[in-house]
Amino acid sequence: MPAAALVDSHCHLDFPDFEGEVPELVARARSAGVTRMVTICTRLRLEPQVRAIAEAHEGVFYAAGTHPMSVASEPMATVDELAALARHPKMVAIGESGLDYHYTAETKAAQQESLRIHAEAARRTGLPLVIHARDADADIGRILEEEHAAGAFGCVMHCFTSSAALAERALALGFYLSISGIATFRRSDELRAIFAAAPLDRLLVETDSPYLAPQPYRGKRNEPAYTADTARIIAGHLGLAPEEFAAATTANFDRLFAKAAAR
């Protein structure tokens, strides 16, 4: 277990995969050195359930937004709605929002509208924006640049698996890249090279659990405790001691998610 505590910056504790197990998941995470986590609400009508999980567990925070793949089936979020939710002391980010043209390209116009709403909510509240990006690098880079030019906000590119070009655009805006279990896979050399080229003070680590379990759990249900496995493996690829990588990513989390750090 690393000497420095780790943070799982993105998980989904409200998903059915974890029903009835959340206390045990949180306990296993703490035993692995993962002392804090952010559980993500992907549909605003489910915000009360996600909020309740955060309220019930020390070290668990939450974010709320409309996932781009859900935009067509959910009411369009409003800035006022997101800003009102953000008053809760344990809501520490806006999202996840973004663009997904892999599965839902037919709703790209609505996704772009939703993304701009979430960016404005991040500006208004001072909370960071959590971005999902898949097969939409050009549009997401352009929109984030336009929105940031209209007023700065913090942002993390969650579960980053996009191009080096999008990584450079995000980093140029002061954004962060989050490393998931995908980066531990044998064929992820190009992705690891992107993280190696990024400044260490712009990297976070996450599980996106219950999805994307790292080696040696690939193909199994993921959980927050496995943040430690991703961190250990990636530290080795970056030539860092696990303790150094844990301390850096935790400091980065505290800088971006300042509301969580304040608690």
pLDDT tens readout for residues 55-113: 999 999 999 999 999 999 999 999 999 999 999 999 999 999 999 999 999 999 999 99
CA distance 132 to 27: 28
Residue ranges covered by each domain of the chain = 6-261
CA distance 166 to 177: 10
Quick one: pLDDT band at residue 2, thresholds 50, 70, 90?
A: very low
pTM across the whole model: 0.96
Helix axes 242-256, 227-237, angle to 10 degrees: 110
Encode pLDDT of 193-213 as tens digits. 999 999 999 999 999 999 999
- Check if the beta carbon of residue 62 is closer than 8 Å to that of residue 44: no
CATH class of 6-261: alpha beta
Encode pLDDT of 111-167 as tens digits. 999 999 999 999 999 999 999 999 999 999 999 999 999 999 999 999 999 999 999
